[in-house]
Structure 1
Amino acid sequence: MTTRTGSARYEGFGKDGKGHVSTQSGVLSDSPYGFNTRFENEPGTNPEELIAAAHASCFTMALSFALAKAGFADGTLETSAKVTLVQADGGFKITKSELDLTATIDGIDPAQFEEIAADAKANCPVSKVLNAEISLTHHLNP
């Protein structure tokens, strides 16, 4: 079992409040977040981009391990994730995460690649925790 931690502090309330988020690893250390970073593109982070980064990295690692298990030893995987936040049910809800993968894998059959990628999308831990539509677009370089 692995346990990781993150923390957030918010001073003030609503649009006037200012937050800071940190991670156990120190990659984020009192990084600013708040209404302006979430809805108005001010410098800082926000929960949706953190979820997008988590989903992209989790899926990419799951796919990497699945490809290694299938006997592939060399290649490159690049994934971006676009997380959508909408106003719904009197609040906000993340409705989808769109994964976009570009892969270069020596010697893989496109059908086999599609099957392995679909399985990684369905079974990476972040996909499993999201209660949202998850799509995958992939581009396999020759």
Structure 2
Amino acid sequence: MKRKATAVWRGTLKEGKGHLSTQSGVLDQTPYNFRMRFEDEKGTNPEELIGAAHSGCFTMQLSAYLTEKDYNPAELETKAEVTLEDGTVKSSHLTLTAKVPGIGRELFDELVTKAKENCPISKLLKADISVETTLNN
């Protein structure tokens, strides 16, 4: 399975602007710019999208592990806070609030750790990144 997304940027870092699109169409030429990313202008940015991807992936992975152990989570809510400092994504902090009837704390903590380490987005954040280029002058 492969999923695709596209970013288009025109102009300089501070005055330029771009848009993001996803294969599913959920994002369809969604605008983003310097002020959305580094200031308080309303709109999305790459770090916010990483947070959404990480929290969604982790939550689904935890649900899978709970289901394997015959627990039916009533609700799993995960908030992600992605920190960008000095041009580097430094961390993704997940905050989970869970309602899982009948589970003990020790098993719950074990499954949370397993989900954190094994969800595909957690693995991506540690992965090698490759780039293929085409230059049109």
Q: TM-score, normalised by structure 1?
A: 0.86
Q: Could you tell me the percent identity over the aligned residues?
A: 51
Which of 117, 125, 133 matches 1:130?
125
Gaps of 5+ in 1: 132-142
Moved over 4 A (4+): none
Which of 104, 108, 119 matches 2:103?
108
Describe the shift of the 1:38–1:74 C-alpha distance in structure 2 as closer, same or farther (beyond 3 A): closer
Corresponding pairs, count: 127
Q: 1:113: Cα distance to partner? A: 0.3
- The answer as to whether partners of 2:58 and 2:119 remain within 8 angstroms in 1 is yes
- Report which of the two has the higher share of strand: 1
Q: 1:74: Cα distance to partner? A: 3.9
CA distance in 2, matches of 1:76, 1:111: 19
- The answer as to whether partners of 2:63 and 2:73 remain within 8 angstroms in 1 is no
Note the 1:83-122 alignment, pairs <5 A.
83-87=82-86, 92-122=87-117
Per-residue CA shift, 1:104-139, capped at 9, x if unaligned? 0010001110000110001101111114xxxxxxxx
Gaps of 5+ in 2: 127-137
Match of 2:134 in 1: none
CA distance in 2, matches of 1:125, 1:58: 7
Match of 2:15 in 1: 16
Q: Are 2:77 and 1:54 aligned?
A: no
RMSD of aligned C-alpha atoms? 1.2
